[in-house]
Amino acid sequence: MSDLSAFPITQKWPAIHPDRIQLYSLPTPNGVKVSIMLEETGLPYEAHLVSFQTNDQLTPEFVSLNPNNKIPAIIDPNGPGGKPLPLFESGAILVYLAEKTGKFLPADPVQRYTTLQWLMFQMGGVGPMFGQLGFFHKFAGKDIEDKRPRDRYVAETRRLLGVLDKHLTGRQWVMGDDYTIADMATLPWVRSLMQVYEAADLIGINDFSQVLRVLDAFLARPAVQAGLNQPPRN
Q: Spell out the domain ranges in the chain.
A: 9-103, 109-223
Contact predicate 27/35, CB 8 Å: yes
Compute the distance between CA of residue 75 and CA of residue 124 in angstroms, rounded to an integer: 24
pLDDT the model gives residue 1 = 56
User: Which of 34, 128, 129 has the alpha carbon at shortest distance from 72?
Assistant: 34
109-223 in CATH: which number?
1.20.1050.10
The pTM is what?
A: 0.96
pLDDT the model gives residue 32 = 98
User: Which of 33, 124, 101, 44 has the alpha carbon at shortest distance from 73?
Assistant: 33
Return per-residue pLDDT of the chain as tens, 234 residues. 578 999 999 999 999 999 999 999 999 999 999 999 999 999 999 999 999 999 999 999 999 999 999 999 999 999 999 999 999 999 999 999 999 999 999 999 999 999 999 999 999 999 999 999 999 999 999 999 999 999 999 999 999 999 999 999 999 999 999 999 999 999 999 999 999 999 999 999 999 999 999 999 999 999 999 999 999 986
Contact predicate 99/120, CB 8 Å: no
The side-by-side arrangement of strands in the sheet containing 21-25 is 45-49, 21-25, 73-76, 85-88
Compute the distance between CA of residue 226 and CA of residue 28 in angstroms, rounded to an integer: 14
Compute the distance between CA of residue 180 and CA of residue 118 in angstroms, rounded to an integer: 10
Class of domain 9-103: alpha beta
